[in-house]
Structure 1
Amino acid sequence: MFSQKLLIRLKNAFNIVVLTGAGVSAESGVPTFRGKDGLWKDKEVEKLATLEALEEDPKLFWEFYSWRRQLLKEIKPNFAHFSMVDIENYFEDFTLITQNVDNLHTVAGNRKVLELHGNITRNRCLRCDHIVPMEQSAGQEIPYCDKCGNIMKPDVILFGEALNEKILRKAQTASAECEVFFSIGTSSVVEPAASLPYIAKGNGAYLVEINTEETPLSENADEVIRIPASKALTGLVMILDRIR
Protein backbone atom coordinates (compact mmCIF):
# COMPACT_ATOMS: atom_id res chain seq x y z
CA MET A 1 0.00 0.00 0.00
CA PHE A 2 2.77 2.44 0.97
CA SER A 3 6.08 2.68 -0.85
CA GLN A 4 9.43 1.86 0.69
CA LYS A 5 10.52 5.42 -0.03
CA LEU A 6 7.70 6.80 2.13
CA LEU A 7 8.41 4.35 4.94
CA ILE A 8 12.06 5.42 5.04
CA ARG A 9 10.96 9.04 5.25
CA LEU A 10 8.51 8.27 8.04
CA LYS A 11 11.02 6.21 9.99
CA ASN A 12 13.34 9.18 10.31
CA ALA A 13 10.88 12.08 10.20
CA PHE A 14 10.56 14.66 12.95
CA ASN A 15 7.93 16.94 11.43
CA ILE A 16 4.67 15.75 9.82
CA VAL A 17 1.69 17.71 8.48
CA VAL A 18 -1.73 16.29 7.62
CA LEU A 19 -4.37 18.24 5.70
CA THR A 20 -7.90 16.82 5.83
CA GLY A 21 -11.03 17.60 3.85
CA ALA A 22 -14.65 16.55 3.57
CA GLY A 23 -13.81 13.02 2.46
CA VAL A 24 -12.54 12.15 5.94
CA SER A 25 -15.74 13.20 7.72
CA ALA A 26 -17.91 11.74 4.96
CA GLU A 27 -16.93 8.30 6.26
CA SER A 28 -18.70 9.26 9.50
CA GLY A 29 -21.81 10.32 7.62
CA VAL A 30 -21.20 14.08 7.50
CA PRO A 31 -22.76 15.55 4.32
CA THR A 32 -20.22 16.98 1.89
CA PHE A 33 -22.73 19.53 0.51
CA ARG A 34 -21.60 18.68 -2.99
CA GLY A 35 -23.70 17.25 -5.81
CA LYS A 36 -26.98 15.87 -4.45
CA ASP A 37 -25.96 17.06 -0.97
CA GLY A 38 -25.70 20.65 -2.22
CA LEU A 39 -29.34 21.42 -1.48
CA TRP A 40 -31.22 21.92 1.80
CA LYS A 41 -34.99 22.36 1.59
CA ASP A 42 -34.51 22.98 -2.15
CA LYS A 43 -32.13 25.85 -1.42
CA GLU A 44 -28.50 25.96 -2.48
CA VAL A 45 -26.17 25.55 0.49
CA GLU A 46 -23.64 27.92 -1.09
CA LYS A 47 -26.26 30.68 -0.97
CA LEU A 48 -27.48 29.82 2.53
CA ALA A 49 -24.03 29.77 4.13
CA THR A 50 -23.27 33.45 3.54
CA LEU A 51 -23.34 36.68 5.51
CA GLU A 52 -25.88 37.98 3.00
CA ALA A 53 -28.24 35.12 3.86
CA LEU A 54 -27.82 35.85 7.58
CA GLU A 55 -28.66 39.52 7.03
CA GLU A 56 -31.61 38.85 4.71
CA ASP A 57 -33.26 36.02 6.65
CA PRO A 58 -31.57 35.28 9.99
CA LYS A 59 -34.32 32.84 10.99
CA LEU A 60 -33.78 30.67 7.89
CA PHE A 61 -29.99 30.95 8.21
CA TRP A 62 -30.04 29.76 11.81
CA GLU A 63 -32.60 27.06 11.05
CA PHE A 64 -30.10 25.62 8.57
CA TYR A 65 -27.18 25.73 11.01
CA SER A 66 -29.29 24.35 13.86
CA TRP A 67 -30.14 21.43 11.56
CA ARG A 68 -26.44 20.90 10.82
CA ARG A 69 -25.59 20.94 14.51
CA GLN A 70 -28.36 18.52 15.37
CA LEU A 71 -27.08 16.20 12.66
CA LEU A 72 -23.55 16.31 14.06
CA LYS A 73 -24.76 15.34 17.54
CA GLU A 74 -25.47 11.88 16.14
CA ILE A 75 -22.13 11.57 14.31
CA LYS A 76 -18.96 10.11 15.80
CA PRO A 77 -15.31 10.10 14.69
CA ASN A 78 -14.37 7.20 12.43
CA PHE A 79 -11.25 5.03 12.18
CA ALA A 80 -9.49 7.71 10.12
CA HIS A 81 -9.94 10.26 12.91
CA PHE A 82 -8.75 7.88 15.61
CA SER A 83 -5.80 6.74 13.49
CA MET A 84 -4.64 10.35 13.19
CA VAL A 85 -4.58 10.56 16.98
CA ASP A 86 -2.28 7.51 17.03
CA ILE A 87 -0.11 8.96 14.25
CA GLU A 88 0.29 12.23 16.16
CA ASN A 89 1.83 10.31 19.05
CA TYR A 90 4.62 8.90 16.87
CA PHE A 91 6.15 12.26 15.91
CA GLU A 92 7.79 15.09 17.82
CA ASP A 93 6.11 17.73 15.67
CA PHE A 94 2.72 16.88 14.18
CA THR A 95 0.26 19.44 12.80
CA LEU A 96 -3.24 18.55 11.66
CA ILE A 97 -4.75 21.17 9.35
CA THR A 98 -8.42 20.66 8.57
CA GLN A 99 -10.95 22.23 6.26
CA ASN A 100 -13.73 20.50 8.20
CA VAL A 101 -15.77 22.43 10.76
CA ASP A 102 -17.33 19.44 12.54
CA ASN A 103 -14.89 19.27 15.51
CA LEU A 104 -14.41 15.52 15.00
CA HIS A 105 -10.61 15.67 15.10
CA THR A 106 -10.71 17.28 18.53
CA VAL A 107 -13.39 14.88 19.75
CA ALA A 108 -11.21 11.98 18.59
CA GLY A 109 -8.28 13.35 20.61
CA ASN A 110 -5.90 15.23 18.31
CA ARG A 111 -4.12 17.98 20.22
CA LYS A 112 -2.62 20.27 17.56
CA VAL A 113 -5.44 21.10 15.15
CA LEU A 114 -5.57 24.15 12.90
CA GLU A 115 -9.19 24.71 11.84
CA LEU A 116 -8.89 26.66 8.60
CA HIS A 117 -12.64 27.04 8.16
CA GLY A 118 -13.59 27.38 11.83
CA ASN A 119 -15.65 25.22 14.16
CA ILE A 120 -19.42 24.84 14.01
CA THR A 121 -19.68 24.07 17.74
CA ARG A 122 -18.97 27.72 18.60
CA ASN A 123 -20.74 31.04 17.95
CA ARG A 124 -18.99 34.31 17.12
CA CYS A 125 -20.37 37.83 17.43
CA LEU A 126 -20.42 39.74 14.16
CA ARG A 127 -19.59 43.01 15.92
CA CYS A 128 -17.16 42.32 18.78
CA ASP A 129 -15.87 38.82 17.83
CA HIS A 130 -16.89 37.40 21.23
CA ILE A 131 -16.88 33.58 21.01
CA VAL A 132 -19.08 31.23 23.04
CA PRO A 133 -19.82 27.49 22.93
CA MET A 134 -22.99 26.75 20.99
CA GLU A 135 -24.56 25.35 24.18
CA GLN A 136 -24.56 28.85 25.65
CA SER A 137 -27.06 29.91 22.99
CA ALA A 138 -29.26 26.83 23.37
CA GLY A 139 -32.94 27.65 23.11
CA GLN A 140 -32.36 30.86 21.16
CA GLU A 141 -33.89 30.76 17.70
CA ILE A 142 -31.46 33.51 16.68
CA PRO A 143 -28.40 33.84 18.99
CA TYR A 144 -27.37 37.28 20.20
CA CYS A 145 -24.10 38.28 21.87
CA ASP A 146 -24.20 38.52 25.67
CA LYS A 147 -21.45 41.18 25.52
CA CYS A 148 -22.75 43.71 23.00
CA GLY A 149 -26.20 42.43 22.02
CA ASN A 150 -25.40 42.02 18.32
CA ILE A 151 -26.43 39.00 16.26
CA MET A 152 -24.02 36.05 16.19
CA LYS A 153 -22.99 33.58 13.53
CA PRO A 154 -21.47 30.10 13.77
CA ASP A 155 -17.71 30.40 14.20
CA VAL A 156 -17.12 29.12 10.66
CA ILE A 157 -15.87 30.71 7.46
CA LEU A 158 -18.93 31.44 5.36
CA PHE A 159 -18.81 31.57 1.57
CA GLY A 160 -17.18 34.84 0.56
CA GLU A 161 -15.40 35.37 3.89
CA ALA A 162 -11.63 35.50 4.29
CA LEU A 163 -9.83 32.95 6.45
CA ASN A 164 -8.40 33.81 9.84
CA GLU A 165 -4.98 35.21 8.93
CA LYS A 166 -3.27 33.96 12.09
CA ILE A 167 -4.43 30.37 11.57
CA LEU A 168 -3.59 30.49 7.86
CA ARG A 169 -0.05 31.71 8.58
CA LYS A 170 0.45 28.88 11.08
CA ALA A 171 -0.73 26.38 8.46
CA GLN A 172 1.58 27.83 5.83
CA THR A 173 4.56 27.81 8.20
CA ALA A 174 3.91 24.22 9.27
CA SER A 175 3.62 23.17 5.62
CA ALA A 176 6.88 24.88 4.71
CA GLU A 177 8.76 23.18 7.57
CA CYS A 178 7.43 19.61 7.38
CA GLU A 179 9.26 16.57 6.03
CA VAL A 180 6.16 14.60 4.97
CA PHE A 181 2.82 16.14 3.98
CA PHE A 182 -0.38 14.09 3.74
CA SER A 183 -3.38 15.45 1.82
CA ILE A 184 -6.35 13.32 2.85
CA GLY A 185 -9.92 13.40 1.56
CA THR A 186 -9.75 16.90 0.13
CA SER A 187 -10.80 17.99 -3.36
CA SER A 188 -7.65 20.14 -3.61
CA VAL A 189 -9.54 22.95 -5.32
CA VAL A 190 -10.54 25.26 -2.45
CA GLU A 191 -7.99 27.98 -1.83
CA PRO A 192 -5.94 28.82 0.09
CA ALA A 193 -5.90 25.27 1.51
CA ALA A 194 -5.20 23.84 -1.94
CA SER A 195 -1.86 25.67 -2.02
CA LEU A 196 -0.53 24.14 1.21
CA PRO A 197 0.69 20.85 -0.36
CA TYR A 198 2.61 22.84 -2.96
CA ILE A 199 4.25 24.93 -0.24
CA ALA A 200 5.35 21.69 1.44
CA LYS A 201 6.63 20.08 -1.75
CA GLY A 202 8.40 23.27 -2.78
CA ASN A 203 10.35 23.12 0.47
CA GLY A 204 11.41 19.50 0.05
CA ALA A 205 8.59 17.57 1.74
CA TYR A 206 7.46 14.17 0.49
CA LEU A 207 3.87 14.67 -0.68
CA VAL A 208 1.27 11.92 -0.22
CA GLU A 209 -2.34 12.07 -1.37
CA ILE A 210 -4.93 9.72 0.13
CA ASN A 211 -8.17 10.05 -1.81
CA THR A 212 -10.60 7.69 -3.50
CA GLU A 213 -10.84 10.12 -6.43
CA GLU A 214 -8.34 11.91 -8.64
CA THR A 215 -7.80 15.58 -7.83
CA PRO A 216 -5.76 18.43 -9.32
CA LEU A 217 -3.07 17.53 -6.78
CA SER A 218 -2.74 13.90 -7.88
CA GLU A 219 -0.24 14.41 -10.69
CA ASN A 220 2.01 16.47 -8.42
CA ALA A 221 2.01 14.08 -5.46
CA ASP A 222 5.02 11.82 -4.83
CA GLU A 223 2.64 9.05 -3.84
CA VAL A 224 -1.10 8.52 -4.35
CA ILE A 225 -3.20 6.08 -2.29
CA ARG A 226 -6.60 5.34 -3.87
CA ILE A 227 -8.47 3.82 -0.93
CA PRO A 228 -10.68 5.31 1.83
CA ALA A 229 -8.85 7.26 4.51
CA SER A 230 -9.96 4.94 7.32
CA LYS A 231 -8.42 1.89 5.64
CA ALA A 232 -5.23 3.69 4.61
CA LEU A 233 -4.58 5.26 8.00
CA THR A 234 -5.30 2.18 10.09
CA GLY A 235 -2.75 0.42 7.90
CA LEU A 236 -0.29 3.26 8.37
CA VAL A 237 -0.60 3.06 12.16
CA MET A 238 0.30 -0.63 12.06
CA ILE A 239 3.39 0.18 9.99
CA LEU A 240 4.46 3.04 12.25
CA ASP A 241 4.15 0.73 15.23
CA ARG A 242 6.88 -1.41 13.66
CA ILE A 243 9.25 1.24 12.34
CA ARG A 244 9.11 4.03 14.94
Structure 2
Amino acid sequence: MSSSQQPHLVVFTGAGISAESGIQTFRAEDGLWADYRIEDVATPDAWEHDPETVLHFYDQRRNQIRYAKPNAAHNALANLEKNGFQVSIITQNIDDLHERAGSTDVLHLHGEILKARSSVDSRMLYPLPKGGIRMGDLCDKGSQLRPDVVWFGEAVPRYSEACEIASTADLLLVVGTSLAVMPAAMLVDLVPQHVERIVIDPAAESLGRSDIIRLAMPAGEGVPMLTQHWLRKGHLWVPETLYPHERLN
Protein backbone atom coordinates (compact mmCIF):
# COMPACT_ATOMS: atom_id res chain seq x y z
CA MET A 1 0.00 0.00 0.00
CA SER A 2 1.41 3.41 -0.91
CA SER A 3 1.89 6.13 1.70
CA SER A 4 -0.93 8.15 0.13
CA GLN A 5 -3.31 5.29 0.88
CA GLN A 6 -2.14 4.87 4.46
CA PRO A 7 -3.98 6.53 7.32
CA HIS A 8 -2.26 9.78 8.25
CA LEU A 9 -0.35 9.76 11.54
CA VAL A 10 0.29 13.28 12.83
CA VAL A 11 2.90 13.44 15.58
CA PHE A 12 3.24 16.47 17.85
CA THR A 13 6.55 16.51 19.73
CA GLY A 14 7.94 18.65 22.53
CA ALA A 15 11.11 19.03 24.54
CA GLY A 16 10.70 15.68 26.27
CA ILE A 17 11.53 13.70 23.14
CA SER A 18 14.87 15.47 22.77
CA ALA A 19 15.69 15.43 26.48
CA GLU A 20 16.57 11.75 26.11
CA SER A 21 19.26 12.83 23.63
CA GLY A 22 20.82 15.02 26.30
CA ILE A 23 19.27 18.32 25.20
CA GLN A 24 18.24 20.37 28.21
CA THR A 25 14.60 21.36 28.42
CA PHE A 26 13.44 24.85 29.27
CA ARG A 27 11.08 23.91 32.09
CA ALA A 28 12.99 21.31 34.06
CA GLU A 29 14.58 22.40 37.35
CA ASP A 30 18.03 21.86 35.85
CA GLY A 31 16.97 23.19 32.46
CA LEU A 32 18.17 26.13 30.46
CA TRP A 33 16.28 28.73 32.43
CA ALA A 34 18.17 27.76 35.59
CA ASP A 35 21.08 29.93 34.41
CA TYR A 36 19.20 32.51 32.33
CA ARG A 37 16.08 34.58 32.73
CA ILE A 38 13.63 34.28 29.85
CA GLU A 39 13.47 38.05 29.70
CA ASP A 40 17.23 38.24 29.08
CA VAL A 41 17.61 35.80 26.20
CA ALA A 42 14.30 34.86 24.60
CA THR A 43 12.23 37.98 23.99
CA PRO A 44 12.26 40.76 21.39
CA ASP A 45 13.18 43.22 24.16
CA ALA A 46 16.24 41.16 25.06
CA TRP A 47 17.34 41.22 21.43
CA GLU A 48 16.87 44.95 21.24
CA HIS A 49 18.74 45.75 24.46
CA ASP A 50 21.48 43.08 24.60
CA PRO A 51 21.80 41.13 21.34
CA GLU A 52 25.28 39.83 22.22
CA THR A 53 23.93 37.95 25.27
CA VAL A 54 21.11 36.53 23.15
CA LEU A 55 23.54 35.34 20.47
CA HIS A 56 25.82 33.78 23.10
CA PHE A 57 22.92 31.88 24.65
CA TYR A 58 21.85 30.41 21.33
CA ASP A 59 25.44 29.61 20.36
CA GLN A 60 25.60 27.43 23.50
CA ARG A 61 22.37 25.70 22.58
CA ARG A 62 23.52 25.23 18.98
CA ASN A 63 26.73 23.52 20.08
CA GLN A 64 24.80 21.24 22.41
CA ILE A 65 22.43 20.21 19.63
CA ARG A 66 25.21 19.55 17.12
CA TYR A 67 26.72 16.97 19.47
CA ALA A 68 23.38 15.33 20.33
CA LYS A 69 22.15 12.26 18.48
CA PRO A 70 18.63 11.06 17.66
CA ASN A 71 17.30 8.63 20.25
CA ALA A 72 15.03 5.59 20.05
CA ALA A 73 11.88 7.72 19.77
CA HIS A 74 13.19 9.80 16.84
CA ASN A 75 14.41 6.66 15.11
CA ALA A 76 11.12 4.81 15.63
CA LEU A 77 9.11 7.59 13.97
CA ALA A 78 11.54 7.75 11.04
CA ASN A 79 11.36 3.97 10.67
CA LEU A 80 7.57 4.12 10.34
CA GLU A 81 7.94 6.50 7.40
CA LYS A 82 10.63 4.33 5.82
CA ASN A 83 8.19 1.41 5.97
CA GLY A 84 5.46 3.21 4.02
CA PHE A 85 3.44 4.87 6.78
CA GLN A 86 2.28 8.44 6.20
CA VAL A 87 3.85 10.38 9.08
CA SER A 88 3.79 14.15 9.54
CA ILE A 89 5.67 15.63 12.48
CA ILE A 90 4.86 18.97 14.06
CA THR A 91 7.51 19.84 16.61
CA GLN A 92 7.97 22.57 19.16
CA ASN A 93 11.69 21.74 19.18
CA ILE A 94 14.28 23.85 17.42
CA ASP A 95 16.76 20.98 16.99
CA ASP A 96 17.15 18.84 13.85
CA LEU A 97 17.03 15.40 15.49
CA HIS A 98 13.88 14.30 13.64
CA GLU A 99 15.54 15.06 10.31
CA ARG A 100 18.80 13.39 11.28
CA ALA A 101 16.85 10.26 12.22
CA GLY A 102 15.39 10.22 8.71
CA SER A 103 11.96 11.87 9.00
CA THR A 104 11.22 14.00 5.93
CA ASP A 105 7.89 15.69 6.75
CA VAL A 106 8.76 17.90 9.73
CA LEU A 107 7.28 21.31 10.57
CA HIS A 108 9.15 23.37 13.18
CA LEU A 109 6.63 25.57 14.95
CA HIS A 110 9.22 27.55 16.87
CA GLY A 111 11.96 27.76 14.26
CA GLU A 112 15.27 25.97 13.69
CA ILE A 113 18.37 26.79 15.67
CA LEU A 114 20.69 25.66 12.88
CA LYS A 115 19.43 28.52 10.75
CA ALA A 116 19.83 32.27 10.99
CA ARG A 117 17.29 34.73 9.67
CA SER A 118 17.08 38.36 8.80
CA SER A 119 15.99 40.79 11.49
CA VAL A 120 13.80 42.60 8.97
CA ASP A 121 12.48 39.80 6.73
CA SER A 122 11.63 36.46 8.36
CA ARG A 123 11.52 34.80 4.94
CA MET A 124 15.28 35.25 4.54
CA LEU A 125 16.88 32.17 6.09
CA TYR A 126 20.53 31.13 6.15
CA PRO A 127 21.76 27.64 7.15
CA LEU A 128 24.42 27.40 9.85
CA PRO A 129 26.32 24.18 9.07
CA LYS A 130 29.00 25.27 11.54
CA GLY A 131 29.73 28.15 13.86
CA GLY A 132 27.19 30.65 15.11
CA ILE A 133 25.96 34.19 14.56
CA ARG A 134 28.13 37.18 15.36
CA MET A 135 27.31 40.85 15.63
CA GLY A 136 27.95 42.26 12.18
CA ASP A 137 26.69 39.18 10.33
CA LEU A 138 24.16 40.67 7.94
CA CYS A 139 21.37 39.43 5.69
CA ASP A 140 21.23 40.34 2.03
CA LYS A 141 19.18 43.42 2.94
CA GLY A 142 21.94 44.66 5.25
CA SER A 143 20.30 43.89 8.60
CA GLN A 144 21.75 41.92 11.49
CA LEU A 145 21.11 38.18 11.45
CA ARG A 146 19.28 36.68 14.43
CA PRO A 147 18.46 33.10 15.48
CA ASP A 148 15.61 31.50 13.55
CA VAL A 149 13.70 31.00 16.80
CA VAL A 150 10.24 32.20 17.84
CA TRP A 151 10.72 34.15 21.06
CA PHE A 152 8.23 34.65 23.85
CA GLY A 153 5.87 37.43 22.85
CA GLU A 154 6.26 36.79 19.11
CA ALA A 155 3.68 35.34 16.77
CA VAL A 156 4.07 31.72 15.63
CA PRO A 157 4.17 32.19 11.84
CA ARG A 158 3.70 28.51 10.91
CA TYR A 159 0.82 27.87 13.30
CA SER A 160 -1.86 28.03 10.60
CA GLU A 161 0.12 25.49 8.57
CA ALA A 162 0.29 23.22 11.61
CA CYS A 163 -3.47 23.56 12.06
CA GLU A 164 -4.02 22.42 8.48
CA ILE A 165 -1.84 19.35 9.03
CA ALA A 166 -3.65 18.52 12.28
CA SER A 167 -7.01 18.71 10.50
CA THR A 168 -5.95 15.85 8.20
CA ALA A 169 -4.95 13.45 10.99
CA ASP A 170 -6.37 9.95 11.25
CA LEU A 171 -4.49 9.50 14.52
CA LEU A 172 -2.66 12.04 16.69
CA LEU A 173 0.38 11.02 18.73
CA VAL A 174 1.71 13.58 21.22
CA VAL A 175 5.20 12.92 22.56
CA GLY A 176 7.24 14.62 25.25
CA THR A 177 5.19 17.70 25.98
CA SER A 178 3.14 18.88 28.94
CA LEU A 179 0.76 20.69 26.57
CA ALA A 180 1.43 23.89 28.50
CA VAL A 181 2.76 26.12 25.70
CA MET A 182 0.17 28.07 23.74
CA PRO A 183 -0.89 28.22 21.01
CA ALA A 184 0.86 24.94 20.19
CA ALA A 185 -1.05 22.96 22.83
CA MET A 186 -4.32 23.84 21.11
CA LEU A 187 -3.40 21.53 18.23
CA VAL A 188 -4.64 18.59 20.31
CA ASP A 189 -8.16 19.93 19.95
CA LEU A 190 -7.89 20.80 16.26
CA VAL A 191 -7.84 17.24 14.95
CA PRO A 192 -11.21 15.94 13.69
CA GLN A 193 -13.56 15.07 16.54
CA HIS A 194 -13.54 11.33 15.83
CA VAL A 195 -9.74 11.08 15.81
CA GLU A 196 -8.08 9.30 18.73
CA ARG A 197 -5.29 11.11 20.58
CA ILE A 198 -2.44 9.40 22.40
CA VAL A 199 -0.02 11.21 24.71
CA ILE A 200 3.32 9.65 25.67
CA ASP A 201 5.02 11.56 28.47
CA PRO A 202 6.16 10.71 32.00
CA ALA A 203 3.67 13.27 33.32
CA ALA A 204 0.82 12.19 31.03
CA GLU A 205 -1.42 11.09 33.91
CA SER A 206 -1.50 14.66 35.23
CA LEU A 207 -3.27 15.91 32.09
CA GLY A 208 -6.61 14.99 33.64
CA ARG A 209 -8.40 14.52 30.33
CA SER A 210 -10.50 11.43 29.79
CA ASP A 211 -10.63 12.05 26.03
CA ILE A 212 -6.89 11.41 25.64
CA ILE A 213 -5.18 8.03 25.89
CA ARG A 214 -2.30 8.64 28.26
CA LEU A 215 0.90 6.61 28.45
CA ALA A 216 2.99 7.75 31.40
CA MET A 217 6.41 6.67 30.16
CA PRO A 218 9.51 8.17 28.51
CA ALA A 219 9.42 8.79 24.77
CA GLY A 220 12.29 6.37 24.18
CA GLU A 221 10.20 3.56 25.66
CA GLY A 222 6.66 4.40 24.56
CA VAL A 223 7.21 5.44 20.94
CA PRO A 224 9.16 2.32 19.88
CA MET A 225 6.60 0.15 21.70
CA LEU A 226 3.71 1.55 19.68
CA THR A 227 5.50 1.79 16.35
CA GLN A 228 6.78 -1.78 16.54
CA HIS A 229 3.23 -2.98 17.01
CA TRP A 230 1.99 -0.88 14.08
CA LEU A 231 4.75 -2.29 11.90
CA ARG A 232 3.82 -5.86 12.86
CA LYS A 233 0.14 -5.24 12.13
CA GLY A 234 0.78 -3.18 9.02
CA HIS A 235 -1.60 -0.42 10.09
CA LEU A 236 -2.19 2.13 12.84
CA TRP A 237 -3.77 0.64 15.93
CA VAL A 238 -5.37 2.52 18.81
CA PRO A 239 -5.19 1.02 22.29
CA GLU A 240 -8.41 0.93 24.27
CA THR A 241 -6.99 1.28 27.78
CA LEU A 242 -4.52 3.49 29.57
CA TYR A 243 -2.11 0.56 29.75
CA PRO A 244 -1.80 -0.73 26.19
CA HIS A 245 1.65 -2.23 26.86
CA GLU A 246 -0.21 -5.17 28.42
CA ARG A 247 -1.72 -5.89 25.00
CA LEU A 248 1.39 -5.50 22.88
CA ASN A 249 3.14 -8.75 23.82
TM-score interval (norm. to shorter): 0.7 to 0.9
After superposition, the C-alpha distances for 1:166-204 in whole angstroms (9 at most, x for unaligned) are x3222112212211101111110111111111111x531
Q: Distance in 2 between matches of 1:67 and 1:97?
A: 24
CA distance change for structure 1 residues 106 and 147 in 2, over 3 Å: closer, same or farther? Answer: same
So what's the TM-score if we normalise by structure 2? Answer: 0.84
Quick check: 1:131 aligned with 2:119? no
Contact 2:200 2:214 in 1 (8 A): yes
Give 1:91 shift: 5.2
Query: Secondary structure, in 3 states, of the residue corresponding to 1:177?
Result: coil
Quick check: 1:182 aligned with 2:176? no
Give the aligned partner of residue 88 of structure 1. 81
Q: Distance in 1 between matches of 2:83 and 2:208?
A: 26
Q: Percent identity?
A: 32
Q: Distance in 1 between matches of 2:98 and 2:65?
A: 13
Q: 1:36-115 maps to which residues of 2 (within 5 A)?
A: 36-39=30-33, 42-90=35-83, 93-115=86-108
Q: Alpha carbon RMSD of aligned pairs, Å? A: 2.1
Give 1:84 shift: 0.7
Contact 1:102 1:120 in 2 (8 A): yes
Query: Secondary structure, in 3 states, of the residue corresponding to 2:165?
Result: helix
CA distance change for structure 1 residues 43 and 235 in 2, over 3 Å: closer, same or farther? Answer: closer
So what's the TM-score if we normalise by structure 1? Answer: 0.85
Of 224, 243, 249 in structure 2, the residue corresponding to residue 234 of structure 1 is 224
Query: Secondary structure, in 3 states, of the residue corresponding to 2:31?
Result: helix
Give the aligned partner of residue 199 of structure 1. 190
CA distance change for structure 1 residues 110 and 66 in 2, over 3 Å: closer, same or farther? Answer: same
The gaps in structure 2 that reach 5 residues or longer are 235-249
Query: Secondary structure, in 3 states, of the residue corresponding to 1:18?
Result: strand
Contact 1:16 1:91 in 2 (8 A): no
After superposition, the C-alpha distances for 1:96-135 in whole angstroms (9 at most, x for unaligned) are 0000001111111101001101100000001133210124
